[in-house]
């Protein structure tokens, strides 16, 4: 009897230990997939929902946890900044990525966010690979994962765009890959490796861009069934190069022959990137090792199509319907190869997008184009009269005024007075709502959220010293097509949904910030938060 009792106790202890062990093994996901849909407004999740398939966007809504009020907490709202902020949990003031390109305040030269003259292209003879994350000042969640595992995890970043592949993957990933327009092939930089891995070469040899583009672009369903189909041929959309019309069908075969990079401006760019994601997972055995791996994917065609045709177009609707199918296919692939509960996926966006100005005007909305370039000449004349120096303003870019700091220092000019004069000149210009001195934000009468967004976006090494904020519905951009960049919700309200490992269905309407994503992932993984992080861990309330 006693023996039996001892045996049972031993068995029970063993059982507990064993259970602990299996729990410990389940304590981290095998794989994290960070999916950033470029220019995806939050409302796209629902606007075209009726025709989304059961297992694409709708699966995220059905099985995932959605933070329905997620916003960018800085301005300007641009791609490079969005990616840097998602993955660092920080803002331009700290991570240093203040635009896709910016006016370097010390040298007076324009700088591209990921340009790097110290590296060379890998996989192409063009300059497409002379890129690196050198300008990113803070660590990313992917960097922290690698530090936590002493670089045993695998981290890969992919996109059609260099900046959207490079910034999410951090400083020392397994690799980052993007496309070269001269060939449509995926390439990289010597920052990461000295030759293209064989799996990338093999993928390039499949010539998928050619295959996709040869089929032409027709709508997926009869065109008159589209929400946006009241008019397809409209003046506020931009035709493809050497083309005149802005209506279906599009001869993408011819576009590809002229420029393989034009795959970007079709839904097939998203198909390509998700196929490449599968190849990256398989070739690198991601999600198969003992450590958590991380694949960041940017689907950028939504942005290119948005820029060309704007938000209320059949083209963008069709792009989302096709992306939905591609996502369904990709999620199924992840289930099969990694296992449904073994991967954690999050979907978000780097920014949203505004309606085309003439579309809004046709419907009697207040809208307009801020002509900021035309402000510079007369502004410089006013400043010259007052301070005796020509061309004190070099440019107005990313809604910020850039000054010639060298001359200002050399002539010992009163810089606060120059900025005051600038503000007085700009504040009554057409379409201008606020003009803010970035070194004296507290003294602006703008609402606190706007002041916070200016403060977060201002990094004095790269940002101009004065911010121009247009009326809602107004922006500095093209007359044809759409864009983004301002503080307003169309550009800054983004989707954020987590699905998979340890996530149960739910949603929250609490307002949260893009900077909360990275610390939430760090908390889930029990690793250090990135070193510039200012976000907070999200609460998945029932």
Active site residues: 79
Alpha helices in 96-233 (DSSP H): 141-148, 162-169, 198-205, 208-214
Give the number of other CB atoms < 10 A from CB of residue 131. 26
Site string for Zn ion, 273-292 (x = CB under 5 A): --------------------
**DSSP-assigned letters across all residues of 340-369:** TTTEEEEEE-S---PPPHHHHHHTT---EE
Stretch that binds Zn ion, among 178-186, 223-231, 299-307, 426-434 (CB under 5 A): 299-307
Three-state secondary structure of 260-274? HHHHHHCCHHHHHHH
Inter-residue contact 100 to 163 (CB < 8 Å): yes
- How far the first Cα of the chain sits from its last, in Å, is 48
Of residues 369 and 407, the one with the C-beta less far from Zn ion: 369
Q: Least distance (Å) from Zn ion to the CB of residue 14?
A: 58
**CB burial of residue 99 (10 Å; 0-12, 13-18, 19+):** buried
Residue among 303 and 317 whose Cβ is closer to Zn ion: 303
Which residue has 């001359």 as its token pair? 407
Cβ proximity to Zn ion: between 139 and 266 the closer is 266
Classify the C-alpha dihedral 369-373-378-379 as positive or negative.
positive
Show the tokens assigned to 166.
Answer: 């490079």
Residue 29 CA: distances (Å) to CA of 60, 86, 237, 535: 18, 20, 43, 22
Which two structure tokens, joined as six digits, stand for 176? 């980052």
Residue 375 CA to residue 393 CA, distance in Å, equals 10
Of the listed pieces 66-74, 300-308, 323-331, 423-431, which binds Zn ion according to CB under 5 A?
300-308
**Smaller CB separation from Zn ion, 303 or 324:** 303
Nearer to Zn ion, 490 or 521 (CB): 490
Is residue 531 within 8 Å of residue 139, measured between CB atoms? yes
| Total Cβ atoms within 10 A of residue 373 | 11
Is residue 396 within 8 A of residue 372, CB to CB? The reply is yes
Per CB under 5 A, the list member of 303, 350, 421, 491 interacting with Zn ion is 303
Looking at beta carbons only, is 89 or 485 nearer to Zn ion? 485
Q: Which is nearer to Zn ion, 39 or 88 (CB)?
A: 39
Residue range at the interface with Zn ion (CB under 5 A); choices 297-305, 411-419, 499-507, 529-537: 297-305
Give the residue with the Cβ less far from Zn ion, 144 or 303.
Answer: 303
Name the residue nearer to Zn ion (CB basis): 287 or 482: 482
When asked if residue 162 is in the footprint of Zn ion (CB under 5 A), the reply is no
Residue from 161, 114, 345, 167 nearest 265 by CA: 161
- Tell me the closest approach of the beta carbon of residue 184 to Zn ion, in angstroms: 20
Nearer to Zn ion, 37 or 529 (CB): 37
Min. distance of Cβ 267 from Zn ion in angstroms? 16
Choices 81-89, 129-137, 295-303, 494-502; region in contact with Zn ion by CB under 5 A: 295-303
**3-state class (DSSP) for residue 176:** strand
- Cα 138 to the center of its chain, rounded Å: 17
Q: Which stretch binds Zn ion (CB under 5 A): 154-162, 298-306, 341-349, 528-536?
A: 298-306
* Of residues 392, 386, 450, 352, the one with CA closest to residue 70: 352
Q: List binders of Zn ion among 443-502 (CB under 5 A).
A: none
Specify whether the CB–CB gap between 147 and 525 falls below 8 A.
no
| 318 binds Zn ion per the rule CB under 5 A | no
Q: Give me the residue whose beta carbon is nearest to Zn ion.
A: 303
In angstroms, give the least distance from the CB of 514 to Zn ion: 16
- How many residues bind Zn ion, per CB under 5 A? 1
Question: Nearest distance from residue 300's CB to Zn ion, in Å?
Answer: 8
Between strands 512-513 and 65-67, the pairing is: unpaired
Give least dist CB 298 to Zn ion, A.
11
| Nearest distance, CB of residue 521 and Zn ion, angstroms | 25
User: Minimum Å distance from CB 384 to Zn ion?
Assistant: 35
Q: How far is the CB of 351 from Zn ion (least distance, A)?
A: 7
Residues 6+ apart with CB under 8 A from 206: none
Secondary structure, 3-state, 368-437: EECCHHHHHHHHHHHHHHHHCCCCCEEEEECCEEEECHHHHHHCCCCHHHHHHHHHHHHCCCCCEEEEEE
| CB-based contacts of 101-107 (< 8 A; 24+ apart in sequence) | 102/397, 102/398, 102/462, 102/463, 103/394, 103/395, 103/397, 103/402, 103/462, 103/464, 104/461, 104/462, 105/402, 105/405, 105/460, 105/461, 105/462, 105/463, 105/464, 106/405, 106/461
In the complex, the smallest distance separating the C-beta of residue 484 from Zn ion, rounded to whole angstroms, is: 6
* Contact residues for Zn ion, defined by CB under 5 A: 303
């Amino acid at each position: 009897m006693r023996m039996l009792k001892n045996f049972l106790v031993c068995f029970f202890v063993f059982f507990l230990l064993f259970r602990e062990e299996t729990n410990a093994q389940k304590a981290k996901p095998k794989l994290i997939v960070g999916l950033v849909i470029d220019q995806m407004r939050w409302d796209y999740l629902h606007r075209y929902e009726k025709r989304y398939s059961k297992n694409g966007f709708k699966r995220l809504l059905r099985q995932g946890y959605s933070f329905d009020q997620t916003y960018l907490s800085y301005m300007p709202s641009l791609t490079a900044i969005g990616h840097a902020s998602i993955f660092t949990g920080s803002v331009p003031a700290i991570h240093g990525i203040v635009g896709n390109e910016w006016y370097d305040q010390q040298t007076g030269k324009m700088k591209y966010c990921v340009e790097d003259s110290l590296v060379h292209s890998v996989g192409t003879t063009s300059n497409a690979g002379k890129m690196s994350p050198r300008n990113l000042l803070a660590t990313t969640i992917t960097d922290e994962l690698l530090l936590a595992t002493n670089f045993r995890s695998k981290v890969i970043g992919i996109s059609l765009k260099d900046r959207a592949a490079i910034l999410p993957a951090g400083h020392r990933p397994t690799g980052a890959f993007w496309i070269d327009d001269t060939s449509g092939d995926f390439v990289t930089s010597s920052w990461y490796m000295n030759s293209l891995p064989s799996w990338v070469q093999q993928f390039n040899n499949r010539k998928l861009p050619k295959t996709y583009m040869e089929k032409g672009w027709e709508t997926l369903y009869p065109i008159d069934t589209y929400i946006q189909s009241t008019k397809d041929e409209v003046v506020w959309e931009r035709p493809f190069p050497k083309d005149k019309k802005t209506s279906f069908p599009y001869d993408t075969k011819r576009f590809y022959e002229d420029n393989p990079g034009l795959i970007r401006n079709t839904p097939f760019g998203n198909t390509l990137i998700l196929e490449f994601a599968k190849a990256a997972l398989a070739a690198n055995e991601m999600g198969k090792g003992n450590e958590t791996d991380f694949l960041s994917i940017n689907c950028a065609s939504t942005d290119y199509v948005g820029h060309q045709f704007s938000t209320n177009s059949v083209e963008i609707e069709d792009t989302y319907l096709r992306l939905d199918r591609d996502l369904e296919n990709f999620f199924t692939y992840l289930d099969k190869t990694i296992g449904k509960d073994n991967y954690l996926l999050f979907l978000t966006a780097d920014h949203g997008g505004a309606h085309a100005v003439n579309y809004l005007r046709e419907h009697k909305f207040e809208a307009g184009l801020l002509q900021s370039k035309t402000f510079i000449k007369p502004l410089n004349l006013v400043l010259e009269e007052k301070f005796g120096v020509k061309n004190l303003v070099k440019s107005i870019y990313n809604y910020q005024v850039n000054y010639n700091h060298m001359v200002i220092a050399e002539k010992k000019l009163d810089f606060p007075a120059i900025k005051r004069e600038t503000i007085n000149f700009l504040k009554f210009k057409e379409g201008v709502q606020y003009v803010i001195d970035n070194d004296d934000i507290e003294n602006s009468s703008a609402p606190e959220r706007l002041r916070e967004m200016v403060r977060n976006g201002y990094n004095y090494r790269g940002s101009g010293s004065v911010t121009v904020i247009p009326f809602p519905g107004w922006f500095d951009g093209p007359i044809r097509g759409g864009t983004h960049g301002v503080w307003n919700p169309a550009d800054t309200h983004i989707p954020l949904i987590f699905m998979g490992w340890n996530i149960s269905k739910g949603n929250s309407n609490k307002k949260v910030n893009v900077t909360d994503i990275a610390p939430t992932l760090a908390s889930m993984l029990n690793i250090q938060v990135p070193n510039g992080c200012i976000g907070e861990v999200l609460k998945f309330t029932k």
